[in-house]
Amino acid sequence: MKVALKIAKAELNTLFYSPIAWLLAIVFLFQCGLTYTGVLQNYLTYQELGGPYLRVLKMLTNLVFTPPSGMFGTVMQKIYLYIPLLTMGLISREISSGTIKLLYSSPIKIRQIVFGKFLAMMGYNLLLILIIFIFVITGLFNIHSADLGLMLSSLFGIYLLLCAYSAIGLFMSSLTSYQIVAAMCTLVIFAALAYVGTIWQDIDFVRDLTYFLSISGRTNRMLLGLISTKDVIYFGLIIYIFLGFCIARLQSQRESKSAIVVAGRYIFIFFSALMVGYITSLPPLVGYYDATAGNQMTLTSNSQKIIAQLGDEPLEVTSYINLLENNYWSGQPEQRNTDLNRWLPYMRFKSNIKLKYVYYYDNPIYVARPIPGVRIAKRKEDENVKLTAQKYAKTFKVDLGDFKTPEEISKIIDLRPELNRYVMQLKFKGKTTFLRLFDDSQVYPFESETDAALKRLISKLPKIAFLDGEYERSKDKLSDKEYGQLTSLITFRNSLVNQGFDVENVSLQTGEIPADISALVIADPKTAFAPAVLAKIQKYIAGGGNLLIAGEPGKQSILNPLLSTLGVQIMDGVLVQKAGDNPPDMLKPLFTKNITNINKGLQKQLTDSVGVSMPGVSGLTYTIGGPFLIKPLLMTDSSQNWNKKGKLVVDSADVVFSAADGDTKAAVPTVLALTRQINHKEQRIIIAGDADFLSNKELSRGRAANFVFGIDVFGWFTYGQFPIDTNRPESEDKHLNVTDKGLITLKVLFLGILPGLLVIIAAVFLIRRKRK
C-alpha cells in the first residue's frame, strides 16, 4: 500500500504540474458557478413576484441542486467530458515514452502501479467534489433550512461516478500508446455503458444483464437523497472490473501466457463481478439509507403500516397488458425495469413481491358520453380483432404468438369490467383486487392508490350507499349532473373506488339500509319520500348512521320534513350574486375555519380563499341547542350575495336586489356539518343546499375546491381512515435568504474571484515547475 501511495503522489504531482488539470478545475468551477447562480436567479424572481408564484418555492434544495434543472443535474450531463482528458495519459504516456519497461523490470507489482494511478485520480476527483462542496456550503446560507443530507448524498453519488469513470479511463489508457485514442475510446465506453440498458430489452435474461451493466441513471436515487447498497456496490464492481482488466492487460504484456489464460482472466473478472452484483441486488439483501429531511424518498408511515400488516406472505402482482390498448406503450417488455423501479419503494419493506406479466389482445372498451346520463361501452369499429392485432404486432415488431387471444384470456380472467385495459391484479392469500392505470398525465398509480388496493386485500373497506328510488343523482352515470366521476369511474385516479371505498345503490322502497355502510348519500331526490322510506331513513339517523344530504332550490318541500328532525331547514328562494362574468346563480362560497375539522389539509384552501362552485344553491338555516352540534363549513358573502325569492330568470335583465320582493342580504351557510355522540361513537352528517357541487361538471371546474372538498367529506365519514393519508409535512426549505445585491455578489465571487484565484495558483505552480 505504501508503494501505491508513493505512485499516487508522483502521479498527482504530474497532474498538477501540467496545464490540463488546472484548466479543467477552473472550467469546472466556472461551470458550477454559472449554473448555481442561474438557477438561484430564477427562483429569486419567483420569490420577489410573490403571490401564486410562491407555490413554486417548495423543496428549494431539490429545485436548486437536483436533476433535471438543478446544479447537480447540469454537472452530471457534462462531467463525463472531463475524465478522459485526465486519464488518457495515465498509462499510455508510460507506454509511449518507454518507461513502462522500467516499471515491468522493477520489483513493483503491476497491481501497485494500477492502484497508485487510480488513487491519484481519486484524489483529483476529490478536488472536483470540494469545488462542488463550495456551492453546498453556499446553499446552506442561501436556502432557509436547506436539506444538507440530500446534498451530501448527491456528492457521494457524483464521487462514485467520477471514480467509476476514472477506472474505465485508466483501462483504456493501458490499451494504446496514443493518448487521444485512449480518450476517444474512453468516451466510447461511457456511451456504450449508457446505451447498453436499452438494447434487447424484450428478452428476459438479456434485459436483466444489460440493465445491470448500464450506468445510465445509477446515481439518480443518490442525487435525490436515497443511498442503496445495490447502487454503491454497482460502482464498486465497475471499478473492480476495469481495474481488473487493466491489471490483466499489463500482466499479459509482462508475462508470456497463452491467449486462453489471458482470456480466462478477463472472463473470471467479468463473471465474478456479475455474480456478486446479482447476489447483492436481491431485494432481501439490499439496504437503504434515506438522507433527506423528512425521509422524502421513503414510503409514508401509513404505507409502511399497511406493508407490515401483509406479514411474510408473498404478494403477487400480475400485469395484464392489452396490445390494442393505448397503455401498451407503458407495458412493453422493454419497460419491465421501469415497472420494477416503481415497485422498489414497496420492495424495500416487503422483498417477496413477485411481478408477473400476461400479454393479450382484445378490443378495448372505451367510456363514452354521447347521450347525457348514459354510460356506454363502445367497441372499436374494426370488429375483426385478430386482423387488428396482426397490424399492431407488425407495427410494434412483436410476435403475435406471444399474446393470448380473447378466448384464451377470458378463460383466465374476465377483464371486461376493467374495460380490457392495462391493469395490475394484486393477489394475497387467495384474495385479489385490481390496481389500475389512469387517464391523466401521470398514468401510473401513486402511493395513495397503491395503498388503497393493498388495503383491500387485508381489511374491510368503507362502503358508501347512494339512495336510489326517488330519482336521485346517479353514482354510475357520467352526464354533467350525475356523480359517476367522483364515485365509480375506474379510469379516474381520484374516484372513490380507486381511493379505498366501495360504493353501491340502495332502494328503500324494496330493501333496507345496509348495517355495514359508512355513510348514506341522499342527493337531490325529485319525488317525496314514501312514509315507509322516510321511516327507514329516520331509523338510520336515530341509530347513529352517517349521512350526506344534498338538496336543490325548488326541492325544499321534499327534504325539509326530513331535515326538521335535525334542526336544519333549506331556505326558500335561491342565492344569487351581483352581475359579473359568471351567471347570477353561480356562487363560490368560501370555507369557514370549521373546515379543518373535516380535514386539516383544507387549511390551504381556507388560507388561499378558494371556494366551492355551487350553481343554483339555497341557503340553510339551523337552530342551536338541539341534539346536534352544528357548524357552518361554507358561507356566502353578504356584500356580494343575497337570497332571492320568487322565480329567477338568468337569461334576461341583470338580477338586482329587491327587498320589496322579499330578497334578504345576509351571510348564510350553504353547507353544514352536524355531529353528536351516540352509541359510543360520533355521528357525522353533512347537509348542503346544492347537489351540483359533487357533480361531474363541477368537479372539473377550474379554480374551485369541489373535488378536494368532496373527497374529504367522504373521508370524514370514515373517521380519517380513507382515503389513506400519504401527505408529507410541508418542506421547510421554501425561502431564499438572498437578495438581488447578494446574487450579484455571488456572481462576482463564483464567476470572477474564485476562478481568477485558481488561475493565479495554477500560474504559480506552472511557473515554478518550468523554472525547475
pLDDT in tens, 610-667: 999 999 999 999 999 889 999 999 999 988 888 988 777 666 667 778 787 788 889 9
- Tell me the backbone φ, ψ of residue 520, rounded to 5 degrees: -110, 135
Counting residues of the chain whose pLDDT is more than 70, the rounded percentage is: 97
If pLDDT is split at 50, 70 and 90, which confidence band does 609 have? confident
Residue 156, C-alpha cell as written in the block: 457521494
Mean pLDDT confidence for 537-548: 95
Q: What is residue 259's predicted lDDT score, i.e. its pLDDT? A: 86
- Model pLDDT, residue 653: 62
Q: Band of the pLDDT at 212, cuts 50, 70, 90?
A: confident
Strand runs (DSSP E) across 606-691, as ranges? 614-615, 620-622, 629-635, 641-644, 669-678, 681-688
pLDDT recorded at residue 255: 78
* Confidence band, pLDDT 50/70/90 cuts, at residue 27: very high
Residue with cell 490499451: 175
Task: Give the pLDDT score at 367.
Answer: 62
Cα 49-746-756 angle, rounded to 5 deg: 155
Residue 99 has pLDDT above 60, yes or no: yes
* Position 352 pLDDT exceeds 90: yes
What pLDDT score does 673 carry? 96
Give 270's pLDDT tier (boundaries 50, 70, 90).
Answer: very high
Q: What is the pLDDT of residue 94?
A: 82
Predicted confidence at residue 377, as pLDDT, reads 42
Determine the average pLDDT of the residues in 351-360.
Answer: 95
| Mean pLDDT to the nearest integer, 491-512 | 93
Average pLDDT (202-206) is: 73
pLDDT computed for residue 650 by the predictor = 64
Long-range contacts, stretch 122-125, CB < 8 angstroms, 24+ apart: 122/163, 122/166, 123/8, 123/12, 124/12, 124/15, 124/21, 124/86, 125/159, 125/162, 125/163, 125/166
pLDDT for the residue numbered 381:
43
Average pLDDT of the segment spanning 760-771: 84
pLDDT range class, residue 369, cuts 50, 70, 90:
very low
Question: Averaged over 708-714, what is the pLDDT?
Answer: 93
pLDDT computed for residue 256 by the predictor: 78
More confident site: 62 or 69: 62
Q: How large is the average pLDDT for residues 522-532?
A: 94
Mean pLDDT of the chain: 90
Find the DSSP H helices in 196-283.
Answer: 204-213, 220-223, 229-254, 259-280
Q: Is the pLDDT of residue 204 over 80?
A: no
Are 246 and 199 in contact, with CB atoms under 8 Å apart? no
Q: Residue 105: is its pLDDT beyond 90? A: no
DSSP 293: T
- Checking if the pLDDT of 76 tops 60, the result is yes
Q: Supply the pLDDT for residue 383.
A: 58
The pTM of this model reads: 0.86
Q: How confident is the model at residue 271 (pLDDT cuts 50, 70, 90)?
A: very high
pLDDT computed for residue 380 by the predictor: 45
> What is the per-residue pLDDT for 228?
95
State yes or no: pLDDT of 85 exceeds 60.
yes
Task: Return the pLDDT at 372.
Answer: 34
In angstroms, the Cα distances linking 247 to 113, 234, 482, 607 are: 9, 20, 73, 65
Is the pLDDT at 506 greater than 80? The verdict is yes
| pLDDT given for residue 695 in this prediction | 94
Nearest-angstrom CA–CA distance, 711 and 499:
9
C-alpha cell at 766: 506552472
